[in-house]
């Protein structure tokens, strides 16, 4: 009887929401639940409607485990935009169509604005008024709200632009919006790419299975081994008290954070794409070795591709893109990137990060106009120009990551001061010796990133070509390595806060 009660208690813990323990891909609980989910999913693969309802139920449970009762926001967004999309398609009056799509934008951005930016605007108002006449609100930020809001909003805009037809079944739309692999941290999947896959027969080929296992292994290594370890054992310490460290350590802290955020986010994307592949769904690539970029324009073609393409298609082009003259083009780039920075978080540092990238993109446009030999991407450059372009681009991006990660501008100033005035090359061997594991993982992480594409593809083919049991063994070994070096608590993904 006691064992039965303990079992019920454990089951209740598994099914209940715990704000301190969101359900994330690199946790043992997710692995257990996903294996159980996948077994029944494969049994239902030929019963389309039941399969869709089953995936929706698991997806909503997955989001409930991350944000509690706020999973109802996701359902509300789905209901709202499903109705609005049919209203847009059913109207022949252009003004009415515009009103409906505007309603979708207002509802979605209103939701996002309330939960994410209320206290940010209260802080600005209090600063302008010179006093705290407005009280800060205790508002919970639902995990990944920025992702599903953008995804839902793009659906109604695409219907308005006649690029897609509205779905006839609400369950299909809820499936699209709530699909758990990409729900809380992307990629931001376009309706025209994903919806045609929903009712297709489930087919997981040997190549898809092998590719999925390879992506999950790589994602785990990036996130749970490289990113988490260098974050907890080096990067966080530097950013918490930069004045205590030399300029070399501060610079390595910035390089370390550049690697950490890449491994964290691209690792999540790899796992999301891999998990979707195991279910028979294909997601577009979200990262393409962004630190290989030789121009800032190339960087944004390689970094968080689903967001950068979303900002281009739904914001930059809507503002006029490059169709209204040079100055307007530069202004549109700046506005797009500032708003893109604000999308990442309600803080001035994110606005400054976006502004830096907006200015850099505008300056690159100017450079392309005044220099007939300038190239938009590194592939078109000669070797020397590419190396110089890479060096400049990488350090502009790292300056942006400093603004992105630092809690305040004082931290930015201290770190830049230490780098400029207290570099102290004599202690470099001592620092490397003291942080051997961290430095080794930083070298490993950048080595994986800069490996030539042909070699990377060959390695993926070898993993994919291995036997089933070898693939399982590689996954088990990776999981074992994760367990050996992980901290006492599972580290959430950085982009969960966005």
Which residues are within 8 A (CB) of 70 and not within 5 positions of it... i.e. 6 or more apart?
140, 142
Is residue 228 within 8 A of residue 396, CB to CB? The reply is no
- The confidence band for 354, taking pLDDT boundaries of 50, 70 and 90, is very high
d(CA 259, CA 261): 6
Q: Which of 202, 220, 240 is the last residue of a domain?
A: 202
**Domain membership flag for residue 3:** no
The DSSP line for 129-192 is HTS--SPPP-----TTHHHHHHHHHHHHHHHHTTSSPPPS-HHHHHHHHH-GGGTTT-----HH
**Domain membership flag for residue 71:** yes
- What is the structure's pLDDT at 488? 47
Counting Cβ atoms within 10 Å, is residue 78 exposed (0-12), middle (13-18) or buried (19+)? buried
- What is the structure's pLDDT at 413? 93
Query: What is the average pLDDT across 155-164?
Result: 92
What's the token pair of residue 198? Answer: 């929903």
For residues 354 and 456, membership in a common domain is answered with yes
For residues 291 and 411, membership in a common domain is answered with yes
What's the token pair of residue 374? Answer: 């300038």
**Domain membership flag for residue 406:** yes
Q: What percent of the chain has pLDDT over 70?
A: 88
Is residue 173 within 8 A of residue 78, CB to CB? The reply is yes
Q: Which of 408, 477, 494 is nearest to 231 (CA)?
A: 494
The CA-to-CA distance between both ends of the chain, in Å, stands at: 45
Query: What is the average pLDDT across 406-428?
Result: 90
- The confidence band for 455, taking pLDDT boundaries of 50, 70 and 90, is confident
- What is the structure's pLDDT at 96? 92
- What is the structure's pLDDT at 446? 93
What is the tally of helices (H) and strands (E) in the chain?
22, 0
**Domain membership flag for residue 5:** no
Task: Tell me the per-residue pLDDT of 88-147, one tens digit each, with 9 for 90 and over.
Answer: 998 888 899 999 999 999 999 999 888 888 877 777 777 777 666 667 667 777 888 888
What's the token pair of residue 335? Answer: 């506005």
For residues 401 and 257, membership in a common domain is answered with yes
- What is the structure's pLDDT at 185? 74
Q: How far is CA 107 from CA 66, 77, 149, 167, 197, in A?
A: 23, 8, 9, 20, 28
What's the token pair of residue 246? Answer: 């030399």
Task: Tell me the per-residue pLDDT of 172-218, one tens digit each, with 9 for 90 and over.
Answer: 999 999 999 988 777 888 888 899 999 888 888 878 888 888 888 88
The DSSP line for 238-264 is HHH-GGGS-HHHHHHHHHHHHHHHHHH
432-26-197 Cα angle (round to 5): 125
**Domain membership flag for residue 1:** no
For residues 437 and 396, membership in a common domain is answered with yes
For residues 178 and 304, membership in a common domain is answered with no
For residues 374 and 257, membership in a common domain is answered with yes
- What is the structure's pLDDT at 218? 86
Greater pLDDT, 339 or 324 = 339
- What is the structure's pLDDT at 255? 96
Query: What is the average pLDDT across 408-437?
Result: 90
For residues 167 and 38, membership in a common domain is answered with yes
Element (H, E) at 372: none
- What is the structure's pLDDT at 104? 94
Domain count, the chain: 2
For residues 211 and 198, membership in a common domain is answered with no
Residue 491: pLDDT above 80? no
Which residues are within 8 A (CB) of 37 and not within 5 positions of it... i.e. 6 or more apart?
58
Domain span holding position 403:
206-497
d(CA 375, CA 372): 8
d(CA 97, CA 61): 34
- The confidence band for 430, taking pLDDT boundaries of 50, 70 and 90, is very high
For residues 301 and 448, membership in a common domain is answered with yes
Is residue 278 within 8 A of residue 212, CB to CB? The reply is yes
Just list the catalytic residues: 344
Task: Tell me the per-residue pLDDT of 372-411, one tens digit each, with 9 for 90 and over.
Answer: 777 777 777 888 888 999 999 999 999 999 999 998 889 9
Average pLDDT, the chain: 85
Q: What percent of the chain has pLDDT over 90?
A: 41
pTM over 0.75: yes
3-state secondary structure of 325: coil
- What is the structure's pLDDT at 103? 94
For residues 189 and 324, membership in a common domain is answered with no
Torsion of CA 195, 199, 201, 203, to 10 degrees: 30
Q: Which of 172, 202, 232 is the last residue of a domain?
A: 202
Which segments within 315-356 are labelled E, that is strand?
none
d(CA 242, CA 94): 56
Residue 345: pLDDT above 90? no
Q: Which of 160, 186, 202 is the last residue of a domain?
A: 202
Residue 269: pLDDT above 50? yes
For residues 430 and 357, membership in a common domain is answered with yes
d(CA 214, CA 365): 38
Is residue 138 within 8 A of residue 68, CB to CB? The reply is no
Overall residue count recorded for the chain in this entry: 498
Q: How far is CA 359 from CA 7, 119, 246, 334, 356, in A?
A: 58, 27, 30, 6, 5
- The confidence band for 335, taking pLDDT boundaries of 50, 70 and 90, is very high
Which residues are within 8 A (CB) of 21 and not within 5 positions of it... i.e. 6 or more apart?
27, 490
Greater pLDDT, 130 or 53 = 53
Element (H, E) at 486: none
- What is the structure's pLDDT at 107? 93
3-state secondary structure of 288: coil
Is residue 283 within 8 A of residue 272, CB to CB? The reply is yes
- What is the structure's pLDDT at 470? 72
Q: How far is CA 118 from CA 69, 124, 412, 464, in A?
A: 20, 10, 26, 48
For residues 473 and 450, membership in a common domain is answered with yes
């Amino acid at each position: 009887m006691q064992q039965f009660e303990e079992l019920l208690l454990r089951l209740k813990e598994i099914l209940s929401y715990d704000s301190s323990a969101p359900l994330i891909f690199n946790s043992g609980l997710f692995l257990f639940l996903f294996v159980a989910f996948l077994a029944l999913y494969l049994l239902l693969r030929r019963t389309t409607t039941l399969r869709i309802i089953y995936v929706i139920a698991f997806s909503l449970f997955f989001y409930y485990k991350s944000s509690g009762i706020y999973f109802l926001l996701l359902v509300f967004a789905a209901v709202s935009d499903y109705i609005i999309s049919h209203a847009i398609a059913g109207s022949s009056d252009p003004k009415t169509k515009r009103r409906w799509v505007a309603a979708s934008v207002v509802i979605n951005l209103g939701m996002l604005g309330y939960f994410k930016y209320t206290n940010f605007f209260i802080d600005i108002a209090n600063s302008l008024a010179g006093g705290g006449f407005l009280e800060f609100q205790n508002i919970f930020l639902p995990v990944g709200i920025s992702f599903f809001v953008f995804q839902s909003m793009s659906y109604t805009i695409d219907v308005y632009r006649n690029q897609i037809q509205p779905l006839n079944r609400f369950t299909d739309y809820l499936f699209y919006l709530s699909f758990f692999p990409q729900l809380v941290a992307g990629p931001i999947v376009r309706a025209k790419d994903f919806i045609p896959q929903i009712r297709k027969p489930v087919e997981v080929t040997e190549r898809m299975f092998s590719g999925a296992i390879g992506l999950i292994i790589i994602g785990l290594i990036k996130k749970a081994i490289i990113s988490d370890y260098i974050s907890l054992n080096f990067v966080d310490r530097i950013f918490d008290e930069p004045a205590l460290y030399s300029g070399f350590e501060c610079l390595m802290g910035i390089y370390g954070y550049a690697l950490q955020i890449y491994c964290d986010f691209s690792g999540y994307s790899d796992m999301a794409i891999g998990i979707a592949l195991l279910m028979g769904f294909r997601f577009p690539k979200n990262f393409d070795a962004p630190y290989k970029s030789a121009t800032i324009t190339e960087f944004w073609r390689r970094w968080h591709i689903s967001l950068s393409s979303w900002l281009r298609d739904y914001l930059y082009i809507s503002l006029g893109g490059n169709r209204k003259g040079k100055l307007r083009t530069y202004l549109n780039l700046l506005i797009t990137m500032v708003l893109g920075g604000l999308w990442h978080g309600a803080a001035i540092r994110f606005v400054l990060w976006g502004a830096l990238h907006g200015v850099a993109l505008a300056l690159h446009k100017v450079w392309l106009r005044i220099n007939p030999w300038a190239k938009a991407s590194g592939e078109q450059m000669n070797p020397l120009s590419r190396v110089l372009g890479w060096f400049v681009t990488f350090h502009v991006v790292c300056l942006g990551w400093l603004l992105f990660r630092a809690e305040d501008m004082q931290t930015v100033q201290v770190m830049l001061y230490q780098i400029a005035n207290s570099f102290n090359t004599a202690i470099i061997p001592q620092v490397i010796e003291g942080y051997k594991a961290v430095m080794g993982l930083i070298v490993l992480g950048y080595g994986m990133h800069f490996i030539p594409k042909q070699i990377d593809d060959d390695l993926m083919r070898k993993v994919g070509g291995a036997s089933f049991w070898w693939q399982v063994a590689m996954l088990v070994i990776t999981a074992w390595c994760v367990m050996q070096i992980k901290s006492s608590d599972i580290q959430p993904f950085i982009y969960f806060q966005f």
